[in-house]
Every structure is written in structure tokens, then in C-alpha cells.
Amino acid sequence: MVKRNGSGASAIDLSATNMVYENLRARILKGELAGGTLLVEQDVAQAMQVSRTPVHEALRRLGAEGLLDISPRRRARVADVSLHDIEQLFAIRGQLESLGAEDAARQIDEPAIRVLEEATDQMEAVSREWSSQRLREFIEANNRFHIGILAASKNRWLERTLRPVLDMLLGPLNTLALHPVSGTMEVRHEFLVRNCRQHREIIDALRAGNAAWAKAAMNLHINTAHRDWGGAAELQRQADGAARKGRRRRMVREPALS
């Protein structure tokens, strides 16, 4: 047993808490833990070979970030982000990221621009050799691009406000990317190509130091992404509904096995 001292939790407790927190957070953002998934402290502790104390603290932190819903009975579920939630998150994101691009244009340097170009290069490579299996790779590069602009804005208050919004969107988008639904393939590839083209315009505006142009280009980009992802999500919803109806029909037609 680790003894505690007057300074609070031991270094071992904090290390275990951080490990559990980072592991669960990464899996939520990658869509591996879908919305509605119940996380039981004892089960998580056994799986990660730690005590329940660091698990409890990690779940509390994830709940404070909005990634988990914690009930009064201390039951933790991965936040189920609805299409309506995504609409609201994109509306907030459009306003804040436009401000971030405007700030970044006034002070961004060439090394920071190269980070944005490298992320866009990777996205374009995925779009040229497109397959649904590579969509997560595209999303991760896209996230690096947007985080890079946020960092270049050097506005810590904006970063503290916007990062949770980006995180809340990342999980549902990764979940959508992992869905093996054939009906969304053409839609997805079309908006991948458009996304890259808009990134290049944003980079041009930032390199020119034109704050008004950068703000307008980012606003258009987020509004377009909102529309594109919403279209893919709607196709997904329709496909899921059709699949559920098909399962119900088979259940009616097929006799029960004795």
C-alpha cells in the first residue's frame, strides 16, 4: 500500500490516474468507445490493473470535460452526442475558429505554417488513394491542422474554450468514419477533396498575414464541413434505420429455432 503525505495524492496515484485518463480519453475520441457505453469503475480498474481510486478520479475528469455523463448514482457513460448536439457544436466552432484564424494571421511564423502544410499534405495523400479505412487518418491530420492554427493564435483563453468543442466533435466524427456503410463513400470522398482545397486557401491567407481573409476562409470552411458531415450523418441515419427494419422483417419471417 502506498502511504499518503500531507501534500495529497501520491505520485503513484497521480501517475495511474493520468494513465487511465489518457487511455479512456483517446479511445473516446477515436470512436472506439461509442456514445452510451457504460464504464464500470471495477471493470476499468481490472482491465488496466490499477485500483479503483485512480479510475474514479479519471472518470471525474472526463465528466468535467463533457466526454462522460456521470449520473447521481455515480454511473459513468460515454456522452452520446446527437445530431442536434453536433449542429450546436459546429455553430460554436465556426465563430471561435474564425476568431482563432484572424488572430493567427497577425503573428503566425513559417515553422507554424509548415506544420499546417504537412497536415494538409497528408490529407491530400489520403484523398488521392481514398478508401473508407483511411478516413480516420484523414481526420487525425485534419485535427492537427486546426489545433495548429489554434496554437498559432496564441490566445490561451480561446484555446481553453475551443478545445473541448473540438474534442466533443472528434468522437462522433471518428465513429462515423468507422461505420462500414457503402452509401456514404461518394459523399465522403467529395468533401475530403473540398476540405483540402479550403485548407490551402486558409494557409495562403495566413502566410499573407491577411486577418480578414483568414477569418472569412475559416468561417466558410467550418460551415462547409458542417454541411458535409451533416449529410454523411444523415445518410448514416437512414442506412441504420433501413438495417433495423430489415432485421425486424427477418425476425417476423424466420421461425424460432427450438
Could you report the per-residue pLDDT of 158-194, keeping only the tens digit for each? 988 998 888 888 777 776 665 544 444 555 678 889 9
Residue of 76 and 237 predicted with greater confidence: 76
Radius of gyration of the chain (CA): 21
Domains of the chain, by residue range, sit at: 11-78, 83-246
Residue 28 above 80 pLDDT?
Answer: yes
Pick from 136, 130, 227, 238: nearest CA to 177 = 136
Residue 137 above 90 pLDDT?
Answer: no
Bridge-based pairing state of the strands 38-39 and 68-70: unpaired
Which pLDDT does position 107 carry in this prediction?
95
Which pLDDT does position 202 carry in this prediction?
98
Which pLDDT does position 213 carry in this prediction?
98
**What's the CA gap between 177 and 187, in Å, rounded?**
12
Assign domain 11-78 to a CATH class: mainly alpha
What are the residues whose beta carbons fall under 8 Å from the beta carbon of 137, sequence distance 6 or more?
Answer: 122, 126
Residue 109 grid cell? 511564423
Average pLDDT for 239-252:
50
Residue-averaged pLDDT of the chain: 81
Which CATH architecture describes the domain 83-246? Up-down Bundle (1.20)
Residue 23 above 80 pLDDT?
Answer: yes
Domains 11-78 and 83-246 share a fold: no
